[in-house]
């Protein structure tokens, strides 16, 4: 076979491979890269200005970053880097929400850093009776989640949740953009784990949530959501982000 003909023959399967693989190599999962510039910008967030901006967010997230709505996350005391990243992802349509995509459309990067600083400066509040709702079927299996949270499952390649999210889900300032889970609402935790498992939420860099979540059963998602929501919140503001 002549060389040009050989190249043409090889080009067909290679082109076919890339055509099939294109979805896996498409847009990045998030526009946020933890560069020195980005980390410094978030660290310079102004909580006072963020409080003013929060007036447009308070109907859903509360004046002090907490709300009784079961499927809306409490933001008080949450990592500033995490909140900033999620706002950026919503604005860039890397995380889908019919409410949030529109809500953040007019925010600048400074606005997002200031809002993130405001929420991080707040003291988390214990969940109200309405927000602490846990289905009766999920509560008894809370203990079964402890092994997944603290040890993981090596056979299924599931890393312990606490390895990234901090001991007892308290947060991990050394891991940029990592949220705390402790004392969050069952409904919200359950929804996010289910969304990562299905791929409906895909803004996790390097698939750090999608890959382990797709190996979880329905019962394990119930158990983990119950486990973390059942922990009393640590009523101190978020730890400062590590200095870049």
Can you give the pLDDT at residue 21? 45
Same CATH fold, 126-233 and 29-125?
A: yes
Can you give the pLDDT at residue 7? 43
Can you give the pLDDT at residue 43? 97
* CA angle (60 as vertex; 98, 190 as ends), nearest 5: 70
Where is pLDDT greater, at 230 or 195?
A: 195
Query: Where do the structural domains in the chain lie, given as residue ranges?
Result: 29-125, 126-233
pTM: 0.85
Can you give the pLDDT at residue 137? 66
Domain 29-125 coded CATH 1.10.3720.10: no
Q: 10 pLDDT exceeds 50?
A: no
Can you give the pLDDT at residue 2? 54
CATH architecture of the domain 126-233 equals Orthogonal Bundle (1.10)
Tell me what the pLDDT averaged over the chain comes to: 87
For residue 158, what is the enclosing H or E element? strand 158-159
Q: 126 pLDDT exceeds 90?
A: no
pLDDT in tens, 22-45: 444 456 899 999 999 999 999 999
Average pLDDT over residues 177-199: 96
Can you give the pLDDT at residue 66? 96
Q: 243 pLDDT exceeds 80?
A: no
| Share above pLDDT 70 across residues of the chain, in percent, rounded to a whole number | 83
How far is it, in rounded angstroms, from Cα 166 to Cα 77? 14
Average pLDDT over residues 59-81: 96
Long-range contacts of 191-198 (CB under 8 A, 24+ apart): 191/71, 193/221, 193/224, 193/225, 194/221, 197/221
């Amino acid at each position: 076979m002549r060389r040009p003909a050989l190249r043409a023959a090889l080009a067909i399967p290679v082109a076919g491979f890339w055509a099939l693989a294109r979805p896996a190599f498409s847009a990045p999962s998030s526009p946020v890269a933890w560069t020195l510039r980005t980390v410094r910008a978030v660290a310079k967030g102004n909580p006072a200005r963020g409080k003013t901006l929060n007036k447009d967010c308070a109907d859903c997230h509360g004046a002090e970053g907490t709300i009784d709505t079961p499927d809306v996350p409490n933001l008080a005391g949450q990592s500033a880097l995490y909140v900033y990243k999620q706002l950026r992802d919503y604005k860039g349509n890397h995380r889908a929400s019919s409410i949030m995509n529109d809500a953040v459309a007019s925010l600048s990067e400074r606005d997002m850093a200031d809002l993130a600083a405001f929420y991080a400066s707040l003291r988390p509040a214990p969940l109200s009776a309405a927000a602490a709702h846990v289905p009766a079927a999920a509560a008894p299996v809370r203990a079964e989640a402890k092994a997944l949270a603290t040890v993981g499952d090596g056979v299924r390649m599931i890393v312990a949740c606490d390895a990234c999210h901090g001991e007892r889900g308290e947060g991990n300032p050394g891991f940029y953009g990592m949220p705390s889970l402790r004392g969050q609402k069952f409904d919200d935790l359950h929804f996010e784990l289910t969304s990562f498992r299905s791929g409906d939420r895909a803004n996790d860099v390097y698939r750090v949530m999608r890959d382990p979540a797709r190996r979880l059963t329905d019962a394990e998602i119930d158990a983990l959501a119950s486990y973390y929501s059942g922990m009393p919140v640590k009523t101190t503001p978020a730890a400062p982000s590590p200095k870049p």
